[in-house]
Amino acid sequence: MSLVTRLGKRGNLLIESPEDARLLQLNSPLVNEAELEEILKAPFGTTRLSTQFAIAQGPAALEAAVNRLCEQAAAAVKGGAEILVLSDRHNLAGEPHLLDADTSYIPPLLAVGAVHHHLIAQAFAVASPLWWKQPSAGVPITLLASLAMALELCVPT
């Protein structure tokens, strides 16, 4: 079994073109912080999107945050992004911000699934969603590995 992961815009599988060969190949879907920083510096259109939202906005905040994330992802792809980094460690301004008593995040599977389906509905060739998740101490490694395989890439910390 291979753990090789390729990131970047994927073209039509039925028509070969030189542009479709432009992918970033990694030996594993699990990367560390330093490797993620190198991915962010790669000459691909890479955009980091926050999955954080304010708890004070009440129960509707999660739905509003998912809608916001989907619209930001579509705008990023329209702007040329080929790799999307969904982060629960950055605020809406893109600044590093760890979760606190006033802030929560969109659950990983919901965030990636919503973005993926929104991009398909908008008729975009799907960019590589990439989840940058700080797993809690109780997350089993098998679940973490399953998330990484389903979501292209995972950064455990």
User: Could you tell me which of 76, 21, 80 has the C-alpha nearest to residue 50?
Assistant: 76
Q: What local confidence, expressed as pLDDT, does residue 87 receive?
A: 86
pLDDT band at 52 (very low <50, low <70, confident <90, very high): very high
C-alpha distances out from residue 156 to 35, 56, 96, 141, Å: 12, 28, 17, 10
User: Could you tell me which of 4, 38, 30, 7 has the C-alpha nearest to residue 127?
Assistant: 7
Tens of pLDDT, residue by residue over 56-99, are 998 899 999 999 999 999 999 888 888 888 888 888 888 888 88
Residue ranges covered by each domain of the chain: 40-134+146-157
Place of tokens 């992961």: 5
Q: What local confidence, expressed as pLDDT, does residue 144 receive?
A: 41
Instruction: End-to-end CA distance of the chain: give it in Å, rounded.
Output: 25
Give the helix/strand (H/E) hosting 51.
none
- Look over the chain and give the mean of its residue pLDDT values, rounded to a whole number: 77
Tens of pLDDT, residue by residue over 25-38, are 888 877 877 888 88
- Residue 142: pLDDT above 60? no
Place of tokens 């455990």: 156
Q: What local confidence, expressed as pLDDT, does residue 150 receive?
A: 43
Place of tokens 């004070």: 56
For residue 90, which amino acid is it?
H
Using a cut of 0.85, tell me whether the model's pTM lies above it.
no
Place of tokens 């912080």: 33
Q: Compute the Cα dihedral for 5, 27, 91, 43 and give only its sign.
A: negative
Q: What local confidence, expressed as pLDDT, does residue 27 receive?
A: 85
Identify whether the C-beta of residue 45 lies closer than 8 Å to the C-beta of residue 81. Answer: yes
pLDDT band at 141 (very low <50, low <70, confident <90, very high): very low
C-alpha distances out from residue 39 to 27, 60, 72, Å: 13, 34, 20
Q: What local confidence, expressed as pLDDT, does residue 120 receive?
A: 83
Identify whether the C-beta of residue 85 lies closer than 8 Å to the C-beta of residue 130. Answer: yes
- Residue 139: pLDDT above 50? no
